[in-house]
Amino acid sequence: MSGASRTRTTKMQDTGADGIGGRHTTTIPSARKPQRSRPAEPSPQLRTDARRNLEQVLRAAREVFGELGYDAPMEEIARRAGVGVGTIYRRFTGKEALVQRIMIAETNRLTAEAVNALDEEPDAWSALARYLRRAVGSGAGRLFPALSGRVPVTEEMSTSRAELNDAVGMLVDRAKAGGLLRADVSDADISLMMSCLLPPSGLPHPQRLTIAGRYLEILLDGLHAGHSSPLPGKPFTQDELDTLFLS
């Protein structure tokens, strides 16, 4: 797929009284006419609280799924959001719907990261490296797996994924055109790297990010011959590895 042919699509949807009558009519003084009741409008404070709760749930879900993957329990999301599990289920029909919401938001965020890198970096290699560093550094790998039928793919999910593919494809095309990226690397390779750079979830979050950052720099050096980047942190030792997997 060439950069020139890549497009982006967005779709939106909207949704939309009844009457009574009879053969005989009786005049009722206006002061006594029955009034059709209306549902009470939620107070501004209630709307604010509901919006704040939703934001807290989405933030916590992104954090929990990013650390533990999509198998993480809803109870942990509720705990970090400071709400009851019932609050989550009042906003989402189930965990599946919440996963879909996070997947769409994360895909759109990564698309924006790719587009911004293309617009703001001085060259194609810097744009590609910046995109990967920010994607990996944000823990996107656990939020961006091939779900393999675990949740139904909605039209919005398909559209957002296509937009991301286009944006990453442009990063790859420009880096190749400038002779900065190996010719045998595809945009799919770049996207799959995020899921490959997943340190064990049993480690503390800062250490996971450091390890992912080290391995990403190794990958970047392999993608761009002659480029040498200092690796963050210190190497993971065999003893630490044994402790992690054998204890």
Are 59 and 102 in the same domain? no
Domain coverage including residue 225: 96-246
Domain membership of residue 2 (yes or no) is no
Are 122 and 193 in the same domain? yes
pLDDT score, position 161? 85
Going residue by residue through the chain (247 aa), what tens digit of pLDDT does each one get? 444 445 444 343 444 434 434 444 444 444 444 444 444 444 566 578 888 999 999 999 999 988 888 889 999 999 999 999 999 999 999 999 999 999 999 999 999 999 999 999 999 999 999 999 999 888 787 776 555 457 788 899 889 988 998 999 999 999 999 999 988 888 888 887 887 787 777 778 788 888 888 989 988 988 875 555 666 777 666 576 556 544 4
pLDDT score, position 183? 83
Q: The domain spanning residue 160 has which CATH number? A: 1.10.357.10
The residues, any chain, with a CB within 8 Å of residue 122's CB and separated by 6 or more, are none
pLDDT score, position 190? 86
Number of domains in the chain: 2
Are 75 and 148 in the same domain? no
pLDDT score, position 192? 79
Query: What tokens appear for 212 in the block?
Result: 């992912």
**Model confidence, pTM:** 0.71
Domain membership of residue 6 (yes or no) is no
